[in-house]
Amino acid sequence: MQHGQLWAQPYWVNLLILIPVATWLGFRSRGLRLSRRQLVILAVFAIAFGFGEAAVVVYLRAAVGLLPGYAGTLQDVRQHSAEAYQQAQSIAQFPQSLLTIEVFREATTMVMLVCVALLAAPRARERWAAFLWTFAIWDVMYYGGLWAMVRWPASLRDVDVLFLIPVPWIAQVWFPISVSVLTVSAVLLCRTQEIG
């Protein structure tokens, strides 16, 4: 995918933009019974988890030698890595063993997000909303964490590998952030007022 290419690859990844719409359409009539407290706790978890995931990615890139300046200070990393941090192009440079570990890391991330959603609410519809809420905030925080640590993405048009399961999903950073922000908005719009 070129820097100027707008759409995600493979083509079906673009259908993720329907998640916020489906969330709003599916939950607006009956509302979601998620309290402010539940959403705040889920958000705190997602923020911490997203930053932790970003740190793992930074460690992984340093271990493979794709993070210039990592032996110095964090400022050294920020100065040298922004232009060298080409996630979508560097996937071919990862050893197969680390790519396998990365696939397992992605799978366990999804398991953890599902488990938190299952614990957050008693009904399936609220659990699904809790999963979407947590996933979306985690995703935005992941990019926020990367930017805070290594100043990447330098632009929302930078290309990233979103997932490796079942094949690499590649898109500009604006795409997952947009889907996530719209999903958080949809959950908030569908939430019923404070529950007892």
Environment class of residue 69 by beta-carbon count within 10 Å: exposed (0-12), middle (13-18) or buried (19+)? middle
28 in any annotated domain: no
* Residues spanned by the domain of 164: 37-190
In tens, the pLDDT along 88-134 reads 556 666 778 888 888 899 999 999 999 999 999 999 999 999 999 99
Which pair of tokens denotes residue 176? 């997952």
Q: Is 67 within a domain?
A: yes
Whether 16 is in a domain gets the answer no
Instruction: Specify if 51 maps to a domain.
Output: yes
What's the average model confidence in pLDDT over 143-159?
90
Query: What is the pLDDT confidence band of residue 196, given thresholds at 50, 70 and 90?
Result: very low
Structure tokens at 124: 């399936």
Which has more confidence, 158 or 84?
158
Query: What are the pLDDT digits (tens) for 22-60?
Result: 999 988 888 888 999 999 999 999 999 999 999 998 888
Residue 64 lies in a domain: yes
Strand partners, 9: 170
In angstroms, the Cα distances linking 167 to 5, 41, 63, 163, 174 are 19, 32, 23, 8, 20
Domain assignment present for residue 154? The answer is yes
pLDDT band (50, 70, 90) for residue 163 = confident
Residue 21 in domain = no
106 in a structural domain: yes
Q: What is the pLDDT of residue 51?
A: 97
Q: Is it the case that residue 194 has pLDDT exceeding 60?
A: no
**Domain count within the chain:** 1
